[in-house]
Amino acid sequence: MAGSVAGPEIERLVQLLARLPGLGPRSARRAVLHLMRKRDELLGPLSEAMALAHERIVTCSVCGNLDTSDPCAICQDPRRDGATLVVVESVADLWALERAKLMSARYHVLGGVLSPLDGVGPDELGLGKLIERLRTGETREVILALNATVDGQTTAHYIADLLQPLGLKTTRLAHGLPVGGELDYLDEGTLAAALERRTEL
C-alpha cells in the first residue's frame, strides 16, 4: 500500500476505527498505537468484549433498545412504572435518560424521526407498532422526548395527533434555558421558547 508504514493487518484496524463517529484517520492511528502498547490490558479485553457484543447484542422487540436479552432488561424489570412510556428518537437518547436516573419509566425507540426529504415516513418509523403497544398496554401517559430540531418537533406533533383518539395524556419535554446557560450565549429560537414557556415563581 502506497505511503503505508504498517502491515495490512494494522492498516485495516486503522481504517475500521477511522469509521467510528468522532474518529478520523489520525486519531484512529493513535488509538491503534495505544492498543498495541497496551496489548494485554486493553487490546485483549477489548477484542473479547467486542466479539461478545457482536455475538450477543440484539434489538429488543418490545422497545427497540439494544441489549443482550430480548425483551431487554428495562422491559423485563417489574419495578418499572408501566403507566409512563417515553418515546425517544434513538437508543443513545434512551441511554442518556437512563444515565440521568430521572424516572423509572418504559421506553419506545423510534429509530429516527419523520423526514420526508430522506424518505422517512410513519411506516419507516414503525408508528403502527407504537399505537399497537399503547392500545394493548397499561400506559396512561406518553412523554415525547424528541430532539428540539424541526424534524423532531414535527414528529412529536404527528405522534400527538395520532395518539389523540386513544385518550392518553401526551406530553413533551420543555424547551428553554439549559441549566447553567447564560442568556447572552443562547440562540433566538431557544430564547423565544424560554420566554413563551415562562413559569410563575
Per CB under 5 A, residues contacting Zn ion are: 60, 62-63, 65, 71-72, 75
Question: Considering beta carbons, is residue 68 or 149 the nearer one to Zn ion?
Answer: 68
Compute CA 139 distance to the chain's CA centroid, rounded to the nearest angstrom.
Answer: 21
Q: Shortest Cβ distance from residue 83 to Zn ion (Å)? A: 17
Question: Considering beta carbons, is residue 64 or 176 the nearer one to Zn ion?
Answer: 64
Question: Considering beta carbons, is residue 71 or 122 the nearer one to Zn ion?
Answer: 71
Beta-carbon contacts of residue 76 (< 8 Å; ≥ 6 apart): 69
Q: b/e for 75-108, b at 16 or more Cβ within 10 A?
A: beeeebeeebbbbbbebebbeebbeeeeeebbbb
Question: Considering beta carbons, is residue 60 or 91 the nearer one to Zn ion?
Answer: 60
Q: Shortest Cβ distance from residue 72 to Zn ion (Å)? A: 3
Compute CA 90 distance to the chain's CA centroid, rounded to the nearest angstrom.
Answer: 3
Q: Shortest Cβ distance from residue 62 to Zn ion (Å)? A: 4
Q: Shortest Cβ distance from residue 17 to Zn ion (Å)? A: 30
Beta-carbon contacts of residue 109 (< 8 Å; ≥ 6 apart): 63, 64, 65, 88, 89, 90, 91, 93, 94
Q: Shortest Cβ distance from residue 107 to Zn ion (Å)? A: 7
**Spatial contact of 158 and 114, defined as CB atoms under 8 Å apart:** yes
Question: Considering beta carbons, is residue 72 or 144 the nearer one to Zn ion?
Answer: 72
